[in-house]
């Protein structure tokens, strides 16, 4: 299966300028981001966890592609990513690494506003972020988000990782597609030895602006029969998710991630009654 998301041929991206963003998880290292406009298309680039001494040590960019493909299989709208093998420069040092990129999802005239900021401006007295979203008719978006964040154990769904796009002249506002799934799966497990002891169903502490710090508890926010998705997962989904990643991820990491997806999907199907479009 070739979905056009993976580009293994080495690209020369040494012209990109990288800016640092500290990890919200508080671990050592930083995420590097860049941007460029080519043929009137604005591209945003993200690098996995970078350490000035060790170089690129994370798998966050690859996690984005896995989550992207998973969302495609489930028929859930989201921001599409591409994975590139590239030569880059950071502080004068050359690296060859994987990185991901995405197109600007804003339409002409639109500006972004984070959910937490929009909530502070528009909420009613005593209204929780979840109740605010449900009152505004965003239940399907929220429930789909909680499902995918459970399946991939996304640790970083803070209030700025959900956005609204506002066009003031046209007086319109719409939800941005789901994005930013890098801090998921086993992103903090770097060694193959440590990977052998992981628990696919472990409920690690997460950030979730509209829910709790437990992905498993957040899954139970979804009312029975309240979730609508366009697809299901099965054993053949393995190929759809991991084709082309053989050189980007070790076989043991691919299988560990698949086992997480598989076990969590079966658990979610027991908890929820999932309807199709």
**pTM beyond 0.85, yes or no:** yes
Look up residue 168 and give its two tokens. Answer: 């003031």
| 74 and 148 together in one domain | no
| 173 and 234 together in one domain | yes
Q: 124-147, pLDDT tens digit by residue?
A: 999 999 999 999 999 999 999 999
pLDDT at residue 25, rounded to an integer: 38
- How buried is residue 196: exposed, middle or buried, by Cβ count under 10 Å (0-12/13-18/19+)? exposed
Of 103, 124, 149, the last residue of a domain is 103
| 73 and 171 together in one domain | no
Structural domain including 197 reads 111-276
Contact (Cβ atoms closer than 8 angstroms) between residue 31 and residue 25 = no
| 34 and 75 together in one domain | yes
Domain count for the chain: 2
Residue 41 maps to a domain: yes
| 66 and 126 together in one domain | no
34: β partners: 45
CA distance 15 to 170: 37
Contact (Cβ atoms closer than 8 angstroms) between residue 210 and residue 129 = yes
- The pLDDT of 18-47, averaged and rounded, is 76
Residue 1 maps to a domain: no
Report how far Cα 40 is from the mean position of its chain's Cα atoms.
Answer: 25
Of 70, 103, 136, the last residue of a domain is 103
Residue 180 maps to a domain: yes
| 118 and 35 together in one domain | no
pLDDT at residue 276, rounded to an integer: 59
Q: How far is CA 90 from CA 34, 53, 163, in A?
A: 11, 12, 29
CA distance 87 to 84: 10
pLDDT at residue 27, rounded to an integer: 33
Q: 70-118, pLDDT tens digit by residue?
A: 999 999 999 999 999 999 999 999 999 999 999 999 999 999 999 999 9
Residue 258 maps to a domain: yes
Of 103, 137, 160, the last residue of a domain is 103
CATH code, domain carrying 127: 1.10.1070.20
């Amino acid at each position: 299966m070739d979905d056009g998301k993976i580009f293994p041929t080495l690209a020369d991206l040494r012209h990109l300028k990288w800016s640092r963003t500290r990890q919200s998880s508080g671990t050592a290292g930083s995420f590097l981001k860049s941007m460029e406009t080519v043929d009137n298309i604005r591209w945003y680039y993200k690098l996995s966890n970078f350490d000035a001494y060790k170089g690129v040590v994370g798998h966050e960019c690859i996690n984005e592609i896995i989550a992207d493909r998973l969302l495609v299989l489930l028929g859930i709208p989201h921001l599409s990513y591409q994975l590139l093998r590239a030569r880059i420069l950071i502080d004068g040092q050359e690296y060859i690494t994987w990185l991901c990129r995405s197109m600007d999802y804003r339409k002409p005239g639109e500006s972004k506003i984070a959910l937490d900021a929009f909530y502070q401006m528009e909420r009613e007295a005593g209204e929780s972020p979840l109740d605010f979203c449900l009152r505004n008719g965003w239940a399907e978006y929220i429930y789909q988000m909680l499902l995918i964040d459970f399946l991939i154990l996304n640790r970083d769904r803070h209030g700025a990782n959900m956005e609204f796009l506002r066009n003031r002249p046209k007086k319109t506002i719409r939800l941005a597609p789901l994005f930013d799934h890098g801090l998921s799966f086993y992103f903090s497990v770097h060694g193959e030895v440590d990977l052998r002891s992981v628990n696919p169903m472990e409920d690690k502490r997460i950030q979730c602006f509209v829910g709790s710090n437990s992905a498993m508890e957040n899954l139970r926010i979804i009312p029975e029969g309240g979730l609508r998705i366009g697809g299901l997962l099965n054993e053949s989904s393995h190929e759809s998710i991991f084709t082309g990643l053989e050189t980007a991820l070790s076989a043991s990491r691919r299988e560990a991630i698949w086992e997480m997806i598989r076990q969590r999907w079966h658990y979610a199907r027991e908890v929820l009654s999932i309807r199709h479009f």
